[in-house]
A and B are shown apart, each in its own frame.
Chain A
Amino acid sequence: EDKVVQSPLSLVVHEGDTVTLNCSYEVTNFRSLLWYKQEKKAPTFLFMLTSSGIEKKSGRLSSILDKKELFSILNITATQTGDSAVYLCAVGARSGDMEYGNKLVFGAGTILRVKS
């Protein structure tokens, strides 16, 4: 059964701290790994990773994928209160015998709270 595990489940940090969120996976027919930020309803896309060892960066956020060890990390530096959210890791995988298209298998998320 496909599985995506995120850790920690929640954490509380102070503004300015650096945080590392973890995502490990066991998914058949892996194609991509995506990170999302969910504050209220709509998850917001952060990164999509398909190759090992290539860091993706956007402002204070960065992420990297290790396809050999089956995990990814999301780093947030100099955290701000606006970073408070649920961070979701999802693995895009081939579904069944369909050559195209993907299903996303989501982890439970990490709840991040940044205190001022």
Chain B
Amino acid sequence: KAGVTQTPRYLIKTRGQQVTLSCSPISGHRSVSWYQQTPGQGLQFLFEYFSETQRNKGNFPGRFSGRQFSNSRSEMNVSTLELGDSALYLCASSLVAGTLPGAGGYTFGSGTRLTVV
């Protein structure tokens, strides 16, 4: 079955611009989470969506936002880009079993590499 698909794979943006990243989860997965990975901070949780609702949010400024559509696809938006936003942005999807993900945990996509210049 198809995995988690993230587009685009690479992006170069200028400071002050905004960017939208897309994530298509595995078919049947309704939970989509976003993470930022940098060499200095590692993997950090951004937010989680389930059935078009944001369920959880990490400690990131309001410039980071997202949404989920009825087909479970999710987008993440970063406005007023800063140099420090350069990172690999990973999306993960999962089945949901109550308060836990399904037995397969979270499946990650290959990410979008964002470079802010």
Chain A residues proximal to chain B, CB less than 8 Å:
31-32, 34, 36, 40-45, 47-48, 50, 88, 90, 92, 94-96, 98-109
Contacts and interface: CB of A to CB of B under 8 A. Distances in A.
B18 to A, nearest CB: 24
A103 B45 CA distance: 6
B96 A100 contact: yes
Interface stretch (B49-57, B65-73, B78-86): B49-57
Contacts of A43: 43, 90, 108
| Max chain A C-beta neighbours (<10 A), residue from B4, B35, B101, B107 | B101
Interface in B36-50: 42-45, 48, 50
Given A32-B100, A96-B56, A45 B45 contact: no
Contacts of B111: 41-42
Interface in B79-117: 88, 90, 92, 96, 98-101, 103-111
A78 B46 CA distance: 37
A95 B42 contact: no
Nearest to B41: A108
Contact of B55 (A31, A98, A105): A98
A87 B84 CA distance: 25
Given A101-B48, A105-B45, 12 more contacts: A41-B111, A42-B4, A42-B108, A42-B110, A45-B104, A45-B105, A45-B107, A95-B55, A95-B57, A103-B33, A104-B33, A106-B43
15 contacts: A41-B110, A42-B109, A42-B110, A42-B111, A43-B43, A45-B106, A47-B105, A95-B57, A96-B56, A102-B99, A102-B101, A103-B33, A104-B33, A105-B45, A106-B35
Given A101-B55, A105-B45, A106-B43, A94 B109 contact: no
B42 A101 contact: no
A1 to B, nearest CB: 10
